[in-house]
Amino acid sequence: MEVIKFRRKRRRLKKGALAIILGFLAAAVLTILLIMYFGGSEGTVQTGAITAAHNYDAVVIRKEKIVSSDEFSIADYFADEGQRVEPGDAVMNVYKMGYSSEITLSLRRTQQEIYEAQLEVLGEARDVELRSFDDGIDSAKARLSNAVLTGDTASVLRIQNELTDLLSARSEYLRGYIQETETLRSLYKKESDWQRAVEDSRTELTAPTAGVVSYYFDDFSVALNADKLSTVTSDLITSALKRGKSAKLTGAARQNAYRIVDTGEWYCVFLTEISDPLRVAEGQSYPVEIAGYGDYEGVAVNSFVSGKKVVNVIKVEGDVGELISARVIKARVTFAATDLKVDRRAIQFENGDPFIEVVTEEGRVGVYVNVLSDDGDHVIVNAKNTDNAPLHEGTKYWIPKRRISRS
């Protein structure tokens, strides 16, 4: 008998159907992963305290007045670096470009010739007033020689001008009662011409306000000034940090002559990352330790987003001291606060501003906050505005597993 064998037909899934099934499976897995990745939980606002200190590269911004003049290359100084002056006090004389100190020397030589010619007419007579002039002139000459020998260039021109003025005053005193000769008339005319040459080239600069004088400048002396705080940007602060400390300008032609600094008010300014919730809050006090200068106490003026950074501004009311000529500093700022405590993961950002989501009966509502301190796990906050949702101890808030930024 012939055996008949039956073969079963295997049904094969079409490729299209298999792709659809795999697609559904992938979507399901992805959905589960997204829920796991972005899912969150609720937390309850508590009260607490956190103290943390952070180091920053910072810049000093002073309240100061820049005094300028026509371009000059020679100057003589009446006020020393760090000297306090009152409005109207003479600070320095500046001389126009092209002026030569030889003009002053020629004037002084002419004045000496006048004195010798006057003595020929006067004879041996010497009254108390004339002897006083002679003593003052001898003293000025001695101080001038000492300044030249010690390399005190800041004092040389000032003493030279003092000597010139003394010689002129002595000449005028004797001129009052000595009969004028042809020689003296010619010398007086020569002296007058030299004096006019000096006066035409010299400008006296005085203090426009009370403060401390400083001759130190850098490229940011105008832009980084207290009266321009509203125009400060993160790019400007970054540029100042890159340039480093201020430099004293000497010898080169310039127009900025000196600064009058209000030593009782200055600012410590530093940058933080836009993704860092911790930044200074207006009105809060902050201890600031500046490496090499000392400890200070300041109050935050503001913090604001600029570009991809946050600019933090702390105002210090106290003697600026040696910081009068510093620009870049190392600052250690202490953030100490007692207020509402939440999980650090609850902080989210919108356009760089931190907020948390408060859980209400209607759903989650964002509340902008000041982050007053941060220990890495928790933050101390207070609300900038609670009109849209309450924020107090016991309030429920949302903790996303991954921080979300909205822009």
Domain span at residue 374? 40-49+340-406
Q: Is residue 212 part of a domain?
A: no
Same domain flag for 222 and 307:
yes
Same domain flag for 289 and 353:
no
**Model confidence at 386: pLDDT above 80:** no
Q: If DSSP states are collapsed to H, E and C, what string results for 305-337?
A: EECCEEEEEEEECCCCHHHHHCCEEEEEEEEEE
CB neighbour list of residue 66: distance below 8 Å, 6 or more residues apart: 221, 222, 225, 256, 259
Cβ atoms of residues 364 and 43 within 8 Å? no
> What CATH number does residue 45 fall under?
2.40.420.20
The full length of the chain comes to: 407
Same domain flag for 170 and 145:
yes
Instruction: Share the mean pLDDT of the chain.
Output: 85
Q: Is residue 26 part of a domain?
A: no
Domains held by the chain: number? 3
Same domain flag for 57 and 159:
no
Final residue belonging to a domain, choices 181, 206, 231: 206
What is the phi-psi region of residue 378: left when phi exceeds 0, alpha when psi lies from -120 to 50, beta otherwise? beta
Q: Is residue 1 part of a domain?
A: no
Q: Over pLDDT 90: what percentage of the chain? A: 50
Final residue belonging to a domain, choices 176, 206, 236: 206
Final residue belonging to a domain, choices 333, 364, 386: 333
Same domain flag for 196 and 259:
no
Q: Is residue 83 part of a domain?
A: no
Task: Give the lowest-confidence range in 147-156, 302-311, 338-347.
Answer: 147-156
What is the phi-psi region of residue 94: left when phi exceeds 0, alpha when psi lies from -120 to 50, beta otherwise? beta
Same domain flag for 329 and 357:
no
**Model confidence at 369: pLDDT above 80:** yes
Find the helix or strand (DSSP H, E) in which 133 lies.
Answer: helix 128-150
Same domain flag for 319 and 358:
no
Total-model pTM: 0.74
Same domain flag for 100 and 182:
yes
Token pair 């004879």 is found at 123
pLDDT score for 166: 87
Tokens standing for 319?
């003697």
Higher-scoring residue by pLDDT: 55, 158: 55
**Model confidence at 313: pLDDT above 90:** yes
Same domain flag for 45 and 61:
no
Token pair 């080239």 is found at 201
Token pair 């911004």 is found at 61
Residue 202: Cβ within 10 Å count: 19
Q: Is residue 87 part of a domain?
A: no
Same domain flag for 160 and 107:
yes
**Model confidence at 405: pLDDT above 60:** no
Tokens standing for 279?
């930044």
Q: Is residue 121 part of a domain?
A: yes
Same domain flag for 295 and 239:
yes
pLDDT score for 12: 53
> What CATH number does residue 300 fall under?
2.40.30
